[in-house]
Structure 1
């Protein structure tokens, strides 16, 4: 099999587009030649640290050029980059880094204390490097300067894993999604054509690189040799200013950020924008109409999932037609040409008729290789004929447009972050005053939905909601913590003991057309 690889792309652009800006960050610019040299040094340094092809290299940092340097440098060596969600709590980070068997960890200055606290849980990590002013650990820049700018010459295969991203699971343990060169880049040339990315694009990446939406967006400008404008994190005021000052042409945003931009005082100059890609959570008709009026560029709605390498379907600009086809504004569009998408009975995996709700299944060359070190979970995730079970419920209309309806898997999407109730329930169940617990998603005007905990107290005990929330914060990332707690006498269960969460959710979602907000 042939096709582009991360190592091959940066090697080519370092020669053919040597002087073109590759990455802009905080007022400074790396050319493709300079990026090529620095990634050679990364590869040399990783080799000196005894990193071998297939080993994992972890990065815990807000968006920074070094994250891309590690990604590309590791790829030149045949190693796999693990971008860690910096919003997680210390124990969660420790589990992920150790489970991935990472040999090297690059850490941003804000997170060095976290790494120091969890260091006993990272026995496999041999080298820790600090970015910026992270003085607790050896400096990444000093380490880089001490390496030879010599490409190791490893020739990767399109089927080699290059990125491992962790996504939470319904069992409460995160799973490492293995993404290959082919899965990430094999169809990206067509995506660039669909979404107006070319060598002259200026692509803003503000979404975190630990998400497929962040890394995928960065690769959309890397593949054609365009410029990536990188922001450390989502800041609507800074996004608006940067679009204006850097003449940004392309950007991927989640709906909550689009809404924040609309509500940010002061007008930006949006005239440079070609297209806004949006997705990761549903958008309201009102926000979408306002955005189309305000920004005056093409809009593309994407439905995707990490295990499917990013995008599954798209609602093209021509179907963003509030006057003639307002119904399509709530659609996820049609599957991308190379994706085979079925809506199937969740029990039999047999396709259901148009208009009927079922589980969305995807067979695609973009699909993950599998979950790292979790063969049983990988087997369970795919049907016998190779379709990935997304866990999302939806339906096709008669014209082949896909609509999301609900979630087969018990997942909450809060502000584009995936939150699995099982993780929260596992923590709350450990509280000494809790006899039983269920966590559900309830509507939220800004975040789409947020977790609510329904708690049965132990006999003689009383639940203090504020104290229970503080208990959660000590064990979970902030975005996973419930925003409300209700005490109940009992929780509904079927004869086998399974929680009937649809009964718990019903009062909060009654009257809503979709059971995702």
Structure 2
């Protein structure tokens, strides 16, 4: 297996009757998933989709995502899953940027899509999951297609995924991941995390995120059963783990925190769990220790980016003993995977720094993205001519080769696993009639790791009402991007050349902490 389409074709032939997906009360075997994706591929072809085209998807996790993913792959097309927490304006940008010919939308998101009339110029076919007689309903659209594999052969260098990541200038960037990028990681997952054909893989994170869509492919590569979670809640996750005898899961620390707080934690059955991989943000020692006590399985931390096709560094289970002699390693990201090169580079240079000295983390491996969709300038800024990807994270190595994350070069906030670029939030807040200047910073959060916070300067004669400003932000931004608070100041600190000194704004909130990120 070297491409996404080869995964479904291989397992449909070798394990036709084995369960592939479980979502709610619906189970699909590999042969059923293969047949459904054939029918969807035929429907896509009739809608004018061919090799290199994009198909947009806006819905929560469900079996339909995988039907579309494999259908598009069988045509050499690419599925673009969109963050369902975004506003209409943000969704419209992505659909337009990807030039999607077909747009598949969950019924609960149709009110949002209805706001986009006239903004979806590239879309020729709109299909609604759970639609009615007045819409092109997904089930009927799919089932009208022929159960025939189109047989298109794709190259390992072709694009497999196009994930959208928030941009530093306010607009999201389409991260292009090839089949070769994806299969640089998948074969190592057995050795790193113990996933095999007999595993039961919990897919709890959103599939528009590399931690959701990428992790799902780990289980699918091995042909195991994947339990897909549509609506994430701690009590429901605990129930699913026991009910389906889940062996492996990828979770963000905030979920591990919430799962310890609900009454179901005391009665849940965690006996089937073998390994929980966590990532997207560091975990606090109390949350980790509590999760280990509660679940009784092994834990591993994964560090990576969308641009690195997910994990490139793992902190293995043996380094997860809060009482052991190497307890300090709980603060580490881990060690690089085989075939992954890492180096620490001095800011604004290519000079490699020695052990213990923080600098920007650069990486080079088979997993580095192809680049950003139709963004040559952004690609050139991220990847050097000799193939090193600049992560934007600041870190250092210790004497034992463990990587530690210290800060960020990029002006970015990670809240509950979601990337937030302050520039986008600032652009919206600056449209408020009472705001003269604004800076959005990340402040510590015991629950989310970090949260966005706005520091604003009012126009002369104006008074900023924090709640009114936040209500304004909620009209234009996804909920997770809206600041948790507002502070009004006379002026923002700037250099003589006008550069904003965000470190000065952040310093009081991070005082006394080992690192300037959570």
TM-score (normalizing by structure 2)? 0.98
Superposed CA offset, 1:284-329 (max 9, x none): 0111111112111111100110000001200011111222211001
1:60 aligns with 2:61: no
Q: Give the alignment of 1:74-473 within 5 angstroms.
A: 74-133=72-131, 137-266=135-264, 267-322=267-322, 323-473=324-474
Deviation at 1:185, TM superposition (A): 2.0
**Native 8 Å contact 1:108 1:134 kept in 2:** no
Q: Distance in 2 between matches of 1:212 and 1:233?
A: 18
Cα pair 2:131 2:138 within 8 Å, conserved: no
Q: Is the 8 A contact 1:204 1:252 kept in 2?
A: yes
Gaps of 5+ in 1: none
Contact 2:359 2:394 in 1 (8 A): yes
User: Cα deviations across residues 455-494 of structure 1 (Å, max 9, x unaligned)?
Assistant: 1111111111111101101110010001100110000111
Pairwise CA distance, 1:444? 1.3
2:433, 2:178 → 1: CA distance? 44
- Secondary structure of the residue aligned to 1:413 is strand
Q: CA deviation at 1:433?
A: 0.9
Q: Say if 1:136 and 1:209 are closer, same or farther in 2 by CA, change over 3 A.
A: farther
Query: 1-side partners of 2:78 and 2:479: how far apart?
Result: 28
- CA drift at 1:46: 0.7
Aligned pairs, how many?
515
2:3 corresponds in structure 1 to 5
**Alpha carbons 1:56, 1:82 under 8 Å: kept:** yes
Q: How does 1:5-24 map to 2 (within 5 A)?
A: 5-24=3-22
Contact 2:3 2:183 in 1 (8 A): yes
Matches of 1:92 and 1:29, distance apart in 2: 33
Unaligned runs of 5+ in 2: none
SS at match of 1:438: strand
CA distance in 1, matches of 2:460, 2:312: 49
Shift, 1:133, TM fit: 4.1
Give CA deviations for 1:309-353 in whole Å, capped at 9, x if unaligned. 001200011111222211001111101111111111121122111
Counterpart CA distance in 2 for 1:104 and 1:170 is 28
CA distance in 2, matches of 1:490, 1:186: 49
Distance in 2 of aligned mates of 1:435 and 1:105: 39
Q: In structure 1, what is the Cα distance between the partners aligned to 2:20 and 2:391?
A: 34
SS in 1 for 2:222: coil
Provide, for residues 346-373 of structure 1, a one-character-per-residue CA deviation record: whole Å limited to 9, x for no partner. 2112211111110111111111111001
Give the 3-state SS of the residue equivalent to 2:116 in structure 1. Answer: helix
- Displacement of 1:262 in angstroms is 1.0
Select between 93-102 and 285-294 the one with higher mean Cα deviation.
Answer: 285-294
Contact 2:80 2:161 in 1 (8 A): yes
Q: Which runs of 4+ in 1 moved over 3 A?
A: 133-136
Distance 2:189 2:233 in 1: 27
CA shift for structure 1 position 120: 1.3
Is the partner of 2:101 in helix, strand or coil? strand
Partners in 2 of 1:485 and 1:449 — Cα distance?
15
Task: Tell me the C-alpha RMSD between the 2 structures.
Answer: 1.0
Q: Per-residue displacement from partner, 1:5-32 (whole Å, max 9, x unpaired)?
A: 1101101111110000000111221000
The CA deviation at 1:134 is 5.7
**Preserved CA contact (<8 Å) 1:207 1:214:** yes
- Report the CA distance between 1:137 and its aligned residue: 2.6
1:349·1:383 contact (CA, 8 Å) conserved in 2?
no
Structure 2 SS opposite 1:187: helix
Measured against aligned partners, the alpha-carbon deviations of 1:209-247 in whole angstroms (never above 9, x if no partner) come to: 000000111101110110010010321111000000000
Q: Answer whether contact 1:312 1:336 (CA < 8 A) is retained.
A: yes
Deviation at 1:136, TM superposition (A): 5.3
Secondary structure at the aligned position of 1:356 is classed as coil
Q: Is the 8 A contact 1:357 1:405 kept in 2?
A: yes
Partner Cα distance (1:361, 1:261) in 2: 34
1:186 aligned counterpart, secondary structure: helix
Please name the residue that 1:69 is paired with. 67
| Cα distance in structure 1, aligned partners of 2:514 and 2:132 | 49
- Are the equivalent residues in 2 in contact too, given 1:244–1:268 (CA < 8 A)? yes
Alignment of 1:455-494 (within 5 A): 455-494=456-495
SS of the residue 2:490 aligns to:
coil
